[in-house]
Amino acid sequence: MNYTLNQLRIFLKVVQNQSVTKASEELHLTQPAVSIQLKNFQDQFEIPLTEVVGRKIYVTDFGKEIAEAAEQILQQVSTIDYKTLAYKGQLFGKIKISVVSTGKYVMPYFLADFLKMHPGVELEMDVTNKNKVVKSLQNNEVDFALVSILPEKMKVEKIDLMQNKLFLVGNMEEDFTKKKKIEAILENRPLLFRESGSGTRQTMERFIVQQDLKINKRMELTSNEAVKQAILAGLGYSIMPLIGIRREIQNKDLQIIPLKGLPIKTNWSLIWVKGKNHNPAALAYLDYLKKEKEAIIHSKFSWYEMM
């Protein structure tokens, strides 16, 4: 048999995702390239590794055993790579971070230079909603989590990265140069909310209670991008993090609506379970952030600090 490490990686990723399409996305390869390598790998075995029923791919019992073996082989290869880097005095290891959905506009900028400096460090970053972020932290599945609201009833340590600013946002169909009360603004269009469990939604609901507002019309959407597109289409207004609408504000597709009590200001915080024993890569990353976060903010987010 002449299968390659690349074929093992591709096969394992297909098994993990139960999909060639999803595997190709995670591997940053085209779907045909993954399909060809999967076929070449299969051709080396007389027993089927997968079977397709309808349009869905299923892994055979034999395929599952091969996948387990492939995972062990790839782990051993990683160990060899890490030992080589350690021998050369380079930092190595994996950092796992869970990020709330809007945090995807923040976290990469605080990671990029660190990963360039330390090519032996691998990154695993999951972007999801706040509930799942907190759960992954509770289950010790990640090293860090990026949140804008600290979890309740959980002992964590943190480093604040930058401010999170939330404004009332609408499209360009109306003139808001003269301040209006939010009740008047929402007479004809609803207020758009994120799904239950979203940090942005929690912040919005807290603001509504503090301001004693009565919201008669509301609409719920399941992502920041969906809310943004709904506002652009004229479906309503929403209180949104400024960090996710830079392009639309600069292009004058969206506008910030002046409103008493806004912007709401929280902090983007990188948090971890109190007392967690970090691996060397994670410890080095924390040290890097403490030294470099102000320079990163000045370099990458000067536009944001001025608003």
Nearest to 252 by CA among 166, 163, 176: 176
Q: State the helix-helix crossing angle for 5-17 and 20-27, rounded to 10 degrees.
A: 120
Using CA atoms of 44, 49, 52, 58 in order, give the dihedral in degrees to the nearest 10: -160
Position 82 pLDDT exceeds 70: no
Nearest to 276 by CA among 133, 170, 129, 139: 139
Q: Which amino acid is at 255?
A: Q
DSSP letter for 143, please: S
- Shared domain for 63 and 183, answered yes or no, is no
- Shared domain for 273 and 154, answered yes or no, is yes
Position 177 pLDDT exceeds 90: no
How far apart are alpha carbons 222 and 192 in whole angstroms? 10
Conformational region of residue 93, where left means phi above 0, alpha means psi within -120 to 50, and beta covers everything else: left
| pLDDT band for position 86 (cuts 50, 70, 90) | low
Position 277 pLDDT exceeds 90: no
Q: What's the token pair of residue 62? A: 């034999």
Domain termination site, one of 61, 87, 113: 87
Q: Which amino acid is at 79?
A: T
- Shared domain for 151 and 32, answered yes or no, is no
Whose structure tokens read 């048999």? 1
Contact residues for 295 (Cβ-Cβ < 8 A; gap 6+): none
CATH code of 231's domain: 3.40.190.10
- Shared domain for 116 and 71, answered yes or no, is no
Domain termination site, one of 39, 55, 87: 87
CA geometry: angle 139, 141, 147, nearest 5 deg: 85
- Shared domain for 185 and 246, answered yes or no, is yes
Handedness of CA 23, 26, 29, 31 (dihedral sign): positive
Q: pLDDT per residue over 223-275, tens digit each?
A: 888 999 999 999 999 999 998 898 899 899 999 988 888 899 999 999 999 98
- Shared domain for 124 and 114, answered yes or no, is yes
Domain range spanning residue 33? 5-87
- Shared domain for 104 and 186, answered yes or no, is no
Position 183 pLDDT exceeds 80: no
pLDDT value for 213 = 82
CA distances (Å), origin 86, targets 121, 151, 303, 307: 11, 36, 40, 45
CATH code of 17's domain: 1.10.10.10
Q: What's the token pair of residue 226? A: 């969906």
Position 192 pLDDT exceeds 80: yes
Position 70 pLDDT exceeds 70: yes
**Reported pTM:** 0.68
- Shared domain for 254 and 127, answered yes or no, is no
CA distances (Å), origin 214, targets 76, 169, 210: 60, 18, 11
Q: Report how many domains make up the chain.
A: 3
Domain termination site, one of 87, 105, 120: 87
- Shared domain for 158 and 287, answered yes or no, is yes
